[in-house]
Each structure stands twice: as C-alpha cells, then as structure tokens.
Structure 1
C-alpha cells in the first residue's frame, strides 16, 4: 500500500457540512479535499490529492496545534496571493492509520484579522457572555437598522427589544450632537474604519445618558461593510463628574486670575524655598523670576523684625495653622515696602506639610501714614507733657508762691487784730493753695522729674487712697532708672487706669504691679470690681490715650475685663 496516498472512501470521512474540509495523513500529505477546500485555494477537483499540506498552509503544525481549537493563519493560494484562513483540527484513527481532519471556518469579515491569533470556541462563548453582562451591545445592518440589542441596551435606553429591532439609532437621538458630528461618524464606518467617541443619547422616559462608543464595521469579500457592531459603555456619572470638575477648574482659573491681578502671590515648599511667584511679586520686589525661584524669603528680609517674630510665624504655619500679619520687606534696589500677609499651609493626605501659599497686599502707604501719625501723636504727647510741666511749675512756683505769701500776710494781720473776715480769708487762701497743689500734682508731679518713677508712683498712690478711700496694693521690682519718656508713659497709664477704677469699677481695692523682665517691663493694673463686656463697650478717650502713649514708647497695652469679675490692664514696654 502506498503510505503517501491512502485515500479512504469519501462517504466514510466526508463531514456533513458545507465548510471546506481537508483530510491529511500522518505524513502531512492531503488524502482528501472537498470542493469548497479546492475552490478556497484555487484548485480543481483531484489536484490537491497527494500534495503536502505545507504548500497550502506553510506555518501549520499538526502535532502542536490543540485539538478543536480555532486557529488563524495565512494560507497560500494557487495563484500566489495570501489568503486569511480560520481552521480547527481534529485527530482520529481509521484502522491502524492516524489522520487529521482540518475544517476551515467560513469567515466573512476579513478586514481586521491578525497574524498568529487563535481562540478556543469556549473562550469565544465566555467573551460574548462577559460582553453582554458588562457592555451595551447592538448590531445594525449596512443601512443602520438595528438587528440585535442585548439586555444592557434595553436597560439603559428603557426601550424593549421589540421597540428597537428594525429601527435606526434616531430613536435614541438626543439632538445634542451636530449634523457634522453624525456625518463624520457615518463617513468613518462606511469606509470600513472603526469609529470611537462619546455620544449623548435620550432614553424612552426623556432622561439623557452618555455612552463611550466604539462602532466596528464588518467587511465582506468585496471590502464593503455589511453590518456594524456598536459597543458602548455608559459614562453618564463620569461625564457629570467631569463637567463639575471642568466648572470647578474654570472657577479656579478665574480665582487665580483675580488673585494674580490683585495680590502678591508666592508658593514655597515645606522648607521655605520659593517655587512660584506671580508678576505682582516681581513688580514690587524688583527681582526677576529667575533670581527668586530656588531662594527663600531671606532674599527680601529687611531686618526690621526680630528673630522671635519669624520664629512665631514658622511655628504657626508648621503646625498647619494660617498665619496673618504685616511684614516689612526690602526690594532689590534697597527700598522698603510693607505687605499685609496671609500664609496658608498645604497638608497632604498623610497630614504632612508640603508647601505654603503666601498671599500679600501692599500696605506701604498705610504703614507710612501710620508711622507719620504715630510720630505726630508722639510729638503731641511730648508737647502736651511739656505744657503740663510748665503749667505745673507756674502754678506751684508762681501763683502758688504768691498765695502762700498772701497767707503769711493774713497771719501777720491776725496777730495784730482780730476780725472774722481775716479768719475767712485765711481759710479760703489755704483751700486755694491746697487745690492748686492738687492741680499741679495732677498736671506733672515734680517728684517724677526729681526722684524718678517709683517715688512718684508711691506718692500718687498714697494721695489716691487718701482722697478716694480705695486701697491700692503696690508691688514693684525695678532695678534701673528708665528714660523720661518711658517713665512719664508708665506714670500716666497708671494714673488713667486708677481714674477709671475710681469712676466705673465700684471697687474698694486695686493693685499695681511692676516687673522687670529680660527684655521688657510689664505693668499690671487690676481690680475686682464690676467689670464690663469689652465687645459691648466702646473705646473711650481714656483707653485711646493709654494706647497711644504705649505706642509712642514702643510698647503695647492689653485690656481684659469680664462682668462681675473685674478688669486687668497689662502694659508691656521694651527696656
């Protein structure tokens, strides 16, 4: 028997199918080929018998191909052209001989077949199941009439399959897209190309939904589309979120534009290195962007503020809190400018600081005006004190001495004669002298200029307690004599505070404490009287005067009070 030409009878091996079929022996030679197989490769009846299968399928491997698996390869047509082939192989024995039955699958759409792709039939079924479960699927004919929809399509569109089959996609047209959009879609798929895009559709109940769409044309042997597969994924929620993000982004862009147009903006990393500055920053600092990026803010440090000032700033923002304050900076040309500053720390999802945003507004003119006003107030206070001092001296040394001389004269007259009018004149003159002394003391106690702050305060407290029946406790720790300006400031503030206690506190006791710290002097005046609500009480002349005097001496004053719990005034002046 010829082992290379063992042809079983056709009726014994011919499959009951219209598919192209070839029977190959174990040597790879063709024992039988039906009419469809002969036509597929361009041969006439009987011409394939005995030929090697490799002549038709050069890359086929009979022994390594999994049985029943659909395989895609390129075959060789008799006239030299390459044809795209899908086939599966089944192995069987006939008598003692082994054979391979090769069944070629009829594939109408050959436009996107790729070399060396293969799919088991079970996998194709699984893929179809997964597609139907997760994706909106529809088939249309070449005119766009719907021929198939899956359950997902019905679920999203709210139409039944019966309502959709036979219709075109105008049934779900939302009219959102332009005619040009749809024309481009049809032009693309009609030319055999895949179209991808996002489409807004309208459901049966009038609601709208978005789908991410891929439309695949199926191509026949003449290269013409004969149907279309539309695969869609609903993205309505995604589009809503994107639209919200887009709106938010537009708002942020507008805010950034407004911020850049009106404010001095800088961003630094967690170490304080400048990573961004806007044009306003460049304009006021007179540095270029290249000179600023990579530097820290010491490049514009004016040296005006203390180390403690910046230490407090960094402590605040390092703890994740917003810092607000006014800073005096120095421009590249040496000029100084003031900025009202807000520094916002940015915290990541781990709670770690990763950058700072500094927003500044120039307040140089206001600060200059405040400085001029402060200088003016200081001059006014100085002039006022000089006037008080001069008037006090005139009252004491002038009018006071004259009245004292008159009193001596009256006393001499009384020694020579007795008359009720002389007694009356003596009493009235003594009262006037005492009132002048009090006025002179209130204006400017001479002991303050002669002996200093502490003796003047002690003397004033004794007179205050004696005249107003308010016991004042005095505690003092001061080792050095202060400048005249600071001494008069402290004296006047204590004087004004005790006057307020006498008028409004309804208290019979008060306390004055002076403590010398390392770098400042702290004075506390307090009482346990009826107190007041700071938010409801307007600042009077007395408080304004105390604040201005404190500023003139380079210090600050803080008033704390609570109804029924008294008032506490704290004055701090640098040494």
Structure 2
C-alpha cells in the first residue's frame, strides 16, 4: 500500500481462552463418559433411517456372536429368529418412522444358532423437519428372565390341568356315588309312602330331593359332564339356562363357532364365562348380561358384558376370580382384559388361539 508498512497486533486473553476451552470440552467429555457407561451396561446399535447398521458396541458382538465388520452395513434381519410375526416388525417400524420411541421384547438368533431375548428401546434421532435420520437401539438381555417366566407358565398350566382333573373326579364321585345312593334312598322312601302316609316320611322325601338337587348343582359347578361329552357350546347353553333360572338374570348368548376346540381351550373359555357371570350376579346389580363368542382366522374372542355398576380398574384390587381368569388365559396362550368404569358397566374380553 504505497510502500507504507503496517503492523497487525492480536491480543488474546489467555485466561478467558482457557476457560472457554474448558467450557467447550466439558460437554464433550460428558458425552464420552455417557457412551462409556452405556457401552459397559447395554447392547447398543445405531442404524440409518433405512435400518442399515452403522455402529455396534462390544456387547452387541458378544451376545450375537458376530464381529462388528460382519454386522455393519447389514440390517437387523441378520439376527432375526423368525419367532415374531411380520406384523410385529411392521408395527415397530411404523412407530419409529413416525418419530416415536418404541419399547418391547425381541427374540433374536445369534450366529451360532442360539436364541436370546432382549428388552429393547429404539429412539429415533430427528432432523430439522422432524423426520428420523438415524435410530439408536439400546438393549438389555433378559433371556434368563424369559426362561423363568416360561417355566412358571408351564407350572401354572400344569396346576390348572391337575385342578380340572380333580374337579372332574370329584364331580363324578358326587354324581355317580353319593348322588346315586341318595336317589336309591329316595326310591325306598317313595315306596314306603305308597304303603303308608306319615309326615316324617314326607319330610324325609323332601329333604332327600333337596340334597339330590344340591349334589347335582355342586357336581355341575365342579365339572359339567356335558362339556366333556358334547363340547363347549352345549355346555355354555346349559349353564346359562341354569344361571338365568336360578338368579333371574337374562343372559343374551351369541355364538359364531363352527367346530370343537382343544379340550384345554374349551375349559378356559367355559371357566372364564362362569367366573365373569358369577361376578355379574354378585356386583353388577343388573337383570341382564351378554355373552358373545366369535371365531376368527386364528383366534377365538369371547366377551362377557353387563351394563351395571362397573368399577375403577386402577383402584380395585384383583381378587381370586380375576386372578384365576387371567392365569387361565395365559395358560392357553391367550390374552385377558377387563374394561370398566363406575356407572358404565363391565366388559370382560378373552382372546385365545383357535386350536
């Protein structure tokens, strides 16, 4: 510049620069610490928006038996066990593609063929437009817990089966043993009454008839023979007739079921209907109820409904009856749900596999 010399002086506050560097590095150090803690405790993977794996930690490799280079560039189908239906993963993808967090349990297959369960949370990372650009999957192995749950479920199923067998035995003994003996005594009393008229004999006749009816009812409650002999639908119709006559509650029954189901499934449906209607007469305060059975492609759905008092499902304690229905549903591989609120009635829904 016209051969004039200029000098530029830059002054820095070293103290402030040091503080600024420290403030900038602190969040980064914290992120590194968080990543270290996560890698030590969880199975971690990061994928792009298409599901292609971009990162896996050591624990992912350890449980899947794959090396990191065998996983990166692939998607999670490489560890798909085939256990879950296609709709399970379709639902998962719909959730995270909408930017929502998904949480659930997934059964995977390792490289050596072994199976393992993981409790999984998938968190979408969103861009400026609110669309996911990558996903962070955090998993914890729960294989042992699932194994114990399966063992407990098997034990509960066995207990229910033994209970039903014992009910059947007692029912037959009451009907064929004590019931038949009482009936023989009734015949003898009737023969005596035909030869002589005495108030004591009349009283004995009435008492014997009452005892026979009570034994029949008890035998029926334990295990209706029609359930074993004719199947679910005749057994339910017979039960509903007795129920309506005895308790003066009209039950509207609708059934779309074209075949017999497995004995255990029929027993589950019958017991749930029986228990649900017992609760209706005890607590609903109604003179009518509704029972619907519908068969779908792979499931049977049962609904027992009343329009009575209802209750708060969150506040109410689960008694023996509700617990029994829930356990029976689980033992049959089904699902059990109660929908109710004060003043709006109660709906009991059971869904079991159609087998």
TM-score, normalising length from structure 1?
0.59
CA distance in 2, matches of 1:564, 1:296: 51
2:207 paired residue among 407, 413, 428: 428
CA distance in 2, matches of 1:197, 1:320: 45
CA distance in 1, matches of 2:17, 2:108: 56
Residue 71 of structure 1 deviates from its aligned partner by 2.1
1:400 equivalent to 2:188? Answer no
Matches for 1:476-495 after TM superposition, within 5 Å: 476-495=255-274
Residue 510 of structure 1 deviates from its aligned partner by 1.0
1:71 equivalent to 2:2? Answer yes
Matches for 1:95-494 after TM superposition, within 5 Å: 197-200=12-15, 210=16, 239=20, 245-494=24-273
Residue 304 of structure 1 deviates from its aligned partner by 1.0
CA distance in 2, matches of 1:337, 1:408: 67
CA distance in 1, matches of 2:341, 2:258: 33
For 1:77, the equivalent position in structure 2 comes to: none
Residue 520 of structure 1 deviates from its aligned partner by 1.3
- For each residue in 1:229-252, what CA deviation from the matched residue of structure 2 results, as whole angstroms up to 9, or x when unmatched? xxxxxxx9xx3xx65553333332
For 1:536, the equivalent position in structure 2 comes to: 315
1:496 equivalent to 2:275? Answer yes
CA distance in 1, matches of 2:24, 2:174: 79
Residue 466 of structure 1 deviates from its aligned partner by 1.1
CA distance in 2, matches of 1:527, 1:244: 65
2:292 paired residue among 507, 513, 519: 513
CA distance in 2, matches of 1:400, 1:438: 11
Residues 270 and 392 of structure 1, relative CA distance in 2, 3 Å threshold = same
Residue 573 of structure 1 deviates from its aligned partner by 1.1
- For each residue in 1:56-85, what CA deviation from the matched residue of structure 2 results, as whole angstroms up to 9, or x when unmatched? xxxxxxxxxxxxxx523xxxxxxxxxxxxx
CA distance in 2, matches of 1:495, 1:252: 58
Residues 243 and 527 of structure 1, relative CA distance in 2, 3 Å threshold = farther
CA distance in 1, matches of 2:185, 2:232: 33
CA distance in 1, matches of 2:231, 2:299: 18
For 1:103, the equivalent position in structure 2 comes to: none
SS in 1 for 2:2: strand
8 Å Cα contact 2:108/2:115 also seen in 1: yes
8 Å Cα contact 2:98/2:131 also seen in 1: no
CA distance in 2, matches of 1:364, 1:198: 58
Residue 211 of structure 1 deviates from its aligned partner by 6.9
Residue 344 of structure 1 deviates from its aligned partner by 0.9
**Structure index of larger Rg:** 1
CA distance in 1, matches of 2:30, 2:337: 42
Matches for 1:57-68 after TM superposition, within 5 Å: none
Q: How many residues align?
A: 354
Residues 566 and 427 of structure 1, relative CA distance in 2, 3 Å threshold = same
CA distance in 1, matches of 2:152, 2:211: 40
For the aligned residue pairs, the C-alpha RMSD in angstroms reads 1.9
CA distance in 2, matches of 1:297, 1:405: 72
Q: Which runs of 5+ in 1 are unaligned?
A: 1-69, 73-85, 87-106, 113-130, 132-193, 201-209, 213-235
Q: Which runs of 5+ in 2 are unaligned?
A: none
TM-score, normalising length from structure 2?
0.95
CA distance in 2, matches of 1:508, 1:196: 92
CA distance in 2, matches of 1:249, 1:211: 17
CA distance in 1, matches of 2:258, 2:24: 67
Structure having the larger proportion of residues in strand: 1
Residue 356 of structure 1 deviates from its aligned partner by 0.9
Residues 511 and 268 of structure 1, relative CA distance in 2, 3 Å threshold = same
CA distance in 2, matches of 1:522, 1:285: 38
